[in-house]
Amino acid sequence: MGAAIHAQNLIQGGCLMGKSMAQKILEKHLVVGNYEVGKEIGIKIDQTLTQDATGTMAYLQFEAMGIDRVKTDLSVSYVDHNTIQVGFENADDHRYLQSVAAKCGIIYSRAGNGICHQLHLERFGKPGTTLLGSDSHTPTGGGVGQIAIGAGGLDVALAMGGAPFFLTCPKVLKINLTGKLNPWCSAKDVVLKMLELFTVKGNVGVVMEYGGPGVKTLSVPERATITNMGAEMGVTTSIFPSDEVTKKFLKAQEREKDWTALEPDADAEYFKVVELDLSGIVPLAATPHSPGNIATVKSLAGKEVNQVCVGSCTNSSFRDMMIIASLLKGKHVHPGVSAVMASGSKQVLTMLSENGALTDIISAGVRIAENACGFCIGNSQSPQSAGISVRTSNRNFEGRSGTKDAQAYLVSPETAAAAMLTGKITDPRDLGVAYPNIKVPAKFSVDDSMLLPPAKDPTSVKIYRGPNIGEPPKNDKLPDSISATVTIKVGDNVTTDHIIPAGARMKYRSNVPKYSEFLFEVVDPKFYERAKEIKGKGKANVIVGGLSYGQGSSREHAAMCPMFMGVKAVIAKSFERIHSANLINFGILPLTFANEADYEKVAQGDELEIPNVREILAKKGKMAVRNKTKNLEFEVKYEFSDRQVDIILAGGMLSMLKK
């Protein structure tokens, strides 16, 4: 035994071990640096995706770079978030997006076609390739064996221009799946189990690679549900092998030619292997207000439910919707429940309509929303005051549903259907009916008519700019020393939904001065006024945060709007990957307390000073923050590559590119 461990160490030390899937793809795409865990690497991006809420800024930034046509193999601009269109803003944004796509060589997916991640999986995702998307759930593509990563719009714009995407070379963790899911237990329960095991923080810089004999028991949409919600754990991405199941899926989508096999080497090296027995999974739920608060559905059974929403990029495949349809067939939604369905794509909705399942859903009394994000982002279907909403989506942050005191529970389609019928949280195994046997067709309904190809003659396209479209704001270069006031101090697990809300406010995404008025709205509605006053006095604003600051979405407005309000630094116990990259891109310093206990040494309203900050960064020296109000000093840490230091000194990526 001892000898075996020794031999294993020798092999690891001598780097004779085989490669994980992540390593294979990353190495193949490496353009800057070496594959060395923890070091910054630059990779070539094959495909990009944007959605309308992050896309307008991404394309404005792309335009500002002065590049005429995208340099990727494929770039797609989806319209799925802001489809409600109350007021002119969203429609104007969509016209802008359509025209810029036509001119710059991008495929445009029209509103109504579906949710970016579901659509990309169906129509474009290719095993072995890289995908960068301006949405945190881009890792859905890991379901077909892509290295699919979420990023801020500016990083996606750069990738469209042919620049490498920079990331910290990740540690690869293997999840060894064994067994097979029992009836009523689904992929959603698997990822909720993962969230119970790994929580929503502490997984930055990790790729989760799924393997083992259990993999072949999961379909591509089931795998995609799992990789989709990897985002909630804060990992760089999650990936499944590309196997016969993947081939079958691509064939059903008339894309068999896109298939290639992908698997790790038999002796692949992982920093950790975690065993997960699918047959031990039971129905689970994420309870308010975090996807990481996991409980068994059984333990919550009996709780009265006011609303049930099915859909979102996590659970809106044909099979997911068929589960709902089959369980509702011939029955009615409980009178206490408002039930809503938003299927993930036009393809899924068409197939439900063709096979009659849509009739079963409508007859049961479910409200049919369009194929879009809808309820998931809280721009529609806000629950009643203090209402309990059961959802198949991936995030239940406070206020995200559009109702501040609502309680959202995240569950599988099986558990959602049970709540629709009973009006209570119900373990679906207790419904007392047979588990539906869903036959997934060998051929899906393929119709790409809502995917508009770019113009053949780009010179003929005039870019449409309605009054909602502003200029992307730029920052000044970093001052020699920072003299600032702590405008707000927040606790652990502050999400980008807390920093800048989505929902009804999202229509201002293309108008940064207006959108900035809603910074920290759900936490402290006075933030904007204070920040404005401090900025007016010629001082900088500083934000103080706890652990895992900036969790959740990729929205770069959570950095861009603070930048616009004069925020120069965020000092936190730790940061999430995408948000920290966005802060750097917009010239804001993400600093961590060298000693976590120093978090207590700073309060809202304190006057801070970071002397000689430019000089320190240029030399990568030790940085101290002076708290003038409390007359004390504490050390802060940063880990910036030379490239990142240059970006920060210049006052952000756009200023640097200009220079």
Binding site residues, ligand MIC, CB under 6 A:
53-54, 81, 135-137, 150, 377, 395, 502, 552-555
Which option in ligand SF4, ligand MIC, none does residue 54 bind, with CB closer than 5 to 8 A by kind?
ligand MIC
- For the CB of residue 247, give the shortest distance to ligand MIC in the complex, in Å: 29
Q: How far is CA 368 from CA 181, 401, 433, in A?
A: 30, 18, 25
Which option in ligand MIC, ligand SF4, none does residue 370 bind, with CB closer than 5 to 8 A by kind?
none
Q: Which candidate, 46, 103, 38, places its Cα nearest to that of 455?
A: 103
Applying CB under 6 A, what is the total number of residues that bind ligand SF4?
Answer: 11
Which residue's entry shows tokens 């309203």?
605
Q: Would you count residue 376 as binding ligand SF4 (CB under 6 A)?
A: yes
Q: Would you count residue 317 as binding ligand SF4 (CB under 6 A)?
A: no
- For the CB of residue 156, give the shortest distance to ligand MIC in the complex, in Å: 11
The residue from 103, 137, 201, 498 that contacts ligand SF4 (CB under 6 A) is 137
Closer CB to ligand MIC, residue 468 or residue 554?
554
Closer CB to ligand SF4, residue 115 or residue 337?
115
Closer CB to ligand SF4, residue 137 or residue 530?
137
- For the CB of residue 371, give the shortest distance to ligand SF4 in the complex, in Å: 11
**Which 8-state DSSP code applies to residue 142?**
G
Q: Would you count residue 135 as binding ligand SF4 (CB under 6 A)?
A: yes
Pairwise CA distance, residues 107 & 111, whole Å = 13
Q: Would you count residue 138 as binding ligand SF4 (CB under 6 A)?
A: no
Phi, psi of 463 (to 5 degrees): -75, 130
Closer CB to ligand SF4, residue 51 or residue 236?
51
Q: Are 222 and 228 in contact (CB under 8 A)?
A: no
Pairwise CA distance, residues 459 & 147, whole Å = 34
- For the CB of residue 54, give the shortest distance to ligand SF4 in the complex, in Å: 10
- For the CB of residue 136, give the shortest distance to ligand SF4 in the complex, in Å: 7
Closer CB to ligand SF4, residue 153 or residue 590?
153
What's CA 80's distance to the chain center, in Å? 14
Which option in ligand SF4, ligand MIC, none does residue 115 bind, with CB closer than 5 to 8 A by kind?
ligand SF4
Closer CB to ligand MIC, residue 320 or residue 606?
320
Q: Are 128 and 225 in contact (CB under 8 A)?
A: no
Pairwise CA distance, residues 555 & 552, whole Å = 9
Going 223 to 226 to 228 to 234, the CA torsion angle's sign is: negative
Q: Would you count residue 364 as binding ligand SF4 (CB under 6 A)?
A: no
Which option in ligand SF4, ligand MIC, none does residue 554 bind, with CB closer than 5 to 8 A by kind?
ligand MIC
Residues 380-439 that bind ligand SF4 (CB under 6 A): 393-394
Q: How far is CA 413 from CA 221, 227, 283, 390, 620, in A?
A: 13, 17, 10, 10, 50
Q: Would you count residue 312 as binding ligand SF4 (CB under 6 A)?
A: yes
Within 10 angstroms of residue 277's Cβ, the number of other Cβ atoms is: 13
Closer CB to ligand SF4, residue 80 or residue 209?
80
- For the CB of residue 544, give the shortest distance to ligand MIC in the complex, in Å: 23
Pairwise CA distance, residues 72 & 64, whole Å = 18
Closer CB to ligand MIC, residue 236 or residue 426?
236
Pairwise CA distance, residues 150 & 659, whole Å = 27
Q: Are 56 and 141 in contact (CB under 8 A)?
A: no
Pairwise CA distance, residues 79 & 551, whole Å = 23
Quick check: helix, strand or coil at residue 221? Answer: helix
Angle in degrees, CA 581, 584, 589, rounded to 5: 120
- For the CB of residue 377, give the shortest distance to ligand MIC in the complex, in Å: 5
Q: Strands 40-43 and 47-51, how do they pair?
A: unpaired
Q: Identity (one letter) of the amino acid at 370?
A: E
- For the CB of residue 135, give the shortest distance to ligand MIC in the complex, in Å: 4
Q: Are 550 and 581 in contact (CB under 8 A)?
A: no
The residue from 101, 104, 107, 115 that contacts ligand SF4 (CB under 6 A) is 115
Q: Would you count residue 313 as binding ligand SF4 (CB under 6 A)?
A: yes
Enumerate binding residues for ligand SF4 (CB under 6 A).
81, 115, 135, 137, 312-313, 373, 376-377, 393-394
